[in-house]
Structures are given as structure tokens and as C-alpha cells.
Amino acid sequence: MSGNIITIDGPSGAGKSTIARLAALRLGLRYLDTGAMYRAVTLHCMRRGIHLDQPKEIAGALAGLELRVELVHEGPMRVFIGTDEVTGNIRTQEVTRNIHYVADVTEVRNYLVDMQRKIGANGDLVTEGRDQGTLVFPGASLKVYMFATPAVRARRRFNELKERGQDASYEEVLEDVSKRDYLDMGRELGGLKKALDAVELDTSELSPDQVAESIVKLAKSRLKMQTRKIDKSALEAMKRESKKQD
């Protein structure tokens, strides 16, 4: 691995995607959304009619999967299955509810961890997920663990779904958040936990800008990295796009 890698781990709804993209933009690094990769595999299985309670069927579906991601310095990560761009399709509540079946399959995790490490081989990356600082990039230059209360994370997710026109109650979203926490923390391989050398950030009462600025300051002080000026209109466009994808 060459160049700096910054990992941002934490539970669902902690704001990792928006904050990782903001930090990457300020620092001139690429941004990797690993959750989108698991969502893509989930969508692939759903489209193929795979029985999601059958790990062997899910593992077998990898043989016919052509998953590709495109990382850019000033935009969202684009996700493709074959030639079909699924960047928007993977953000439905149905995919969210089924993703744990896929993430629990060892073959899927091995497949995606290998893919993530290849992407990060040249460094210059801000990557976020559940196991980036513990399993995927244990030698990362800077590790951050973000968290917020389940109620705060459920409210954020509920508001995002409303903005997208998706029908869900706050109680349903809170139940989904709590269930995902339980499943993510109990996962044997790549389970959610804080790396021993990670910096903890509670985002419950902070805006994405404030959290991103904290990470940027850490990068500047610990890694001697430089920030860059960002066009205000480009920054606002990025934030709007992030809200659609978180």
C-alpha cells in the first residue's frame, strides 16, 4: 500500500457516507463506499431470485456477478452490475432490509474485501464501512470510528427516505436500525467494532460539516496532509447527491 488511507467505520446511519465524501473532497482523495458494494451484491441476488436464507445460493451467485465501481475525486462512487448502472437502485428500503443475509456469507465478504484491497493498493483513499480499519486496511494511516444513538440514526434515515418519496414509518426504521446493529456487531467475520487505534467521534449532535472538519484536522495534524479550496457550488451539489445515497 502506498499513499494515505483514511478509514471511517461505524453503525448504519452515523453519517459515514456524507462525511467520508466531504473529507475526501477537502483532502483531494478518492472516496470508497463499501456499503454500496454489499448493496450491489444484494440487488444482484434479489434480481436472480436467489433464496436469501440460503448462503450456498448466495455464494453461488458470485460466479455470475460482474461488479464494477468507479471512484472519482469530486463525485459519488458509481456502481455497475455488468453494463447496468445501479447506483440509485441499491438504495431502496427492500435492499436495506435484505443486505444482512448477503453480508453474513463468508464468500461474499472475501470477494468484496479482496476487491476493496485492490482499489486501495495505491492509497490516496477515504473508505467507509464496518470493518475498514479492523479487517480490510489494518495498516491505514488514520482510523476513525463514528457513532450516534439509535434514535438519532433512525430519525436521519427516516427523513432521507421521506425525501426520496419512499414509504416507511419512523418505528419501522428504528426497528431496522436496531436489527442491523445487532447483526453487524455479532458478525463473526468483519463484524462492527472499533479498531484499537481508531479515533472516536460522536456525531449525534454534530452536523456533517463539523464531523468532516474534525477528520480533516486530524489528517492535517497527524499525516501532514494539505487541504484544497473547493468551489462552493460543487460542494453544495455534492451534499445534495450524498443525501440521496446515504
Write down the pLDDT at residue 165: 81
Q: Hey, what's the cell of 243? A: 443525501
pLDDT at 1 over 80: no
Domain spanning 5-236, CATH class: alpha beta
**How many angstroms separate the CA atoms of 196 and 58, rounded?**
32
What amino acid occupies position 75? G
Distances (CA, A) of 216 to 22, 112, 127: 9, 27, 14
Task: Give Cα 10 distance to the centre of its chain.
Answer: 9
Write down the pLDDT at residue 239: 58
Q: What is the pTM of this model?
A: 0.85
Mean per-residue pLDDT for 144-157? 90
DSSP single-letter state for residue 132: I
pLDDT at 8 over 70: yes
Mean per-residue pLDDT for 149-157? 88
59-97: pLDDT as tens digits: 999 998 999 999 976 667 899 999 999 999 998 889 988
Q: Out of 26-30, 212-216, 222-226, which region has the weakest mean confidence (pLDDT)?
A: 222-226
**How much helix, strand and coil, in percent to the nearest 5, is found in the chain?**
55, 15, 35
pLDDT at 2 over 60: no
pLDDT band at 19 (very low <50, low <70, confident <90, very high): very high
42-63: pLDDT as tens digits: 999 999 999 999 999 999 999 9
